[in-house]
Structure formats: structure tokens, C-alpha cells
């Protein structure tokens, strides 16, 4: 018998080097929302963002400021990893980046999905677009966390 029986997922946290840069990325590129307007306070250690209703558990992302900045995976390694994923070689792709194929995914509408490649291009964000019976796009945030947008739950 398990020790506990969780009934829902509350949030997930990501380590970042710069709270403002990460917050701006997740608001502008991923479309998350923040209940706190403006830049994080100079002594802030975290920023809470959300998708959908901020009162609903499981819709929250907390960005945690790293104690010491860490540079992970070169941009070239990230781009090569995305290229290999697009070609279906996920095993080799996973070897090129520190966290392998670990990623975080959000569901968006098909209409939104149709706009994503052009929007990522405008922002200079490399990505990998796939169709495996539904649309999927992978990309990295500025701190090397791999993200996914999909049009299917």
C-alpha cells in the first residue's frame, strides 16, 4: 500500500539563472500569466506563473532562481538535439543535452499551434516541429529547459 494517495498535481518548478529573463520568456513565448505585475524584486528567489486559471492546481510553474548561475548545453548542442528529434533519433538527441529528453509540455489550440513556428522564428528561438498524428513542437528556454507545445492532450 502506498504511503499517500495524491489527488492532484500542484505545480512544477524550474531552475533559472535570471528571474526577469525567464519570466519574460514564459510570458511572451509560452503565454503563461503572472499574478504579479512588473519585474521581480531584486531580492526575489522565485516567480509563480500559471496557465489558465491561477487558482487551479496543476496549472502552475514556479521559476526558482539558482543560487549560482549555471551554463548548460551550448546553443549548438540544443539545435543539434532538436534536429535529431525531428529526424526521429531521440536516443542520440538525448545524449547531446544534460537533461536528455526531459521536457515540460503545454496543450494549446490547433489555431494557436498554426502560429507558433512563425512566432518562434520572429523571436529567434530554434525549434523542432513534428507531426505524429498530432502537432508537437519542441524548443528550449534561455536556461536550457526543454519545452513542448502540442495541440492534443
Question: pLDDT tens, 88-103?
Answer: 999 999 999 988 889 9
Model confidence over 11-25: pLDDT tens digits?
889 999 999 999 999
Q: Which three cell numbers stand for residue 84?
A: 535529431
| Total number of residues shown for the chain | 153
Instruction: Report all structural domains of the chain as residue ranges with CATH numbers, in order of start.
Output: 11-65 (3.30.720), 75-150 (3.10.180.10)
Classify each residue of 74-87 as buried b or exposed e, where b means 16 or more C-beta atoms within 10 Å of its C-beta.
Answer: eeebbebbbebbee
Overall pTM > 0.85: yes
Amino acid at each position: 500500500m502506498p504511503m499517500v494517495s495524491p489527488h492532484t498535481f500542484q505545480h512544477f518548478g524550474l531552475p533559472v539563472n535570471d528571474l526577469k529573463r525567464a519570466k519574460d520568456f514564459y510570458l511572451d513565448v509560452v503565454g503563461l500569466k503572472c499574478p504579479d505585475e512588473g519585474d521581480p524584486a531584486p531580492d526575489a528567489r522565485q516567480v509563480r506563473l500559471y496557465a489558465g486559471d491561477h487558482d487551479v492546481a496543476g496549472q502552475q510553474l514556479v521559476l526558482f532562481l539558482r543560487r549560482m548561475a549555471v551554463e548548460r548545453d551550448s546553443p549548438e548542442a540544443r539545435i543539434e538535439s532538436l534536429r535529431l528529434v525531428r529526424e526521429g533519433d531521440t536516443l542520440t538527441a538525448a545524449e547531446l543535452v544534460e537533461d536528455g529528453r526531459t521536457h515540460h509540455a503545454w496543450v494549446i489550440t490547433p489555431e494557436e499551434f498554426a502560429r507558433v513556428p512563425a512566432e518562434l522564428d520572429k523571436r529567434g528561438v530554434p525549434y523542432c516541429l513534428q507531426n505524429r498524428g498530432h502537432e508537437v513542437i519542441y524548443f528550449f528556454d534561455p536556461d536550457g529547459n526543454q519545452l513542448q507545445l502540442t495541440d492534443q492532450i
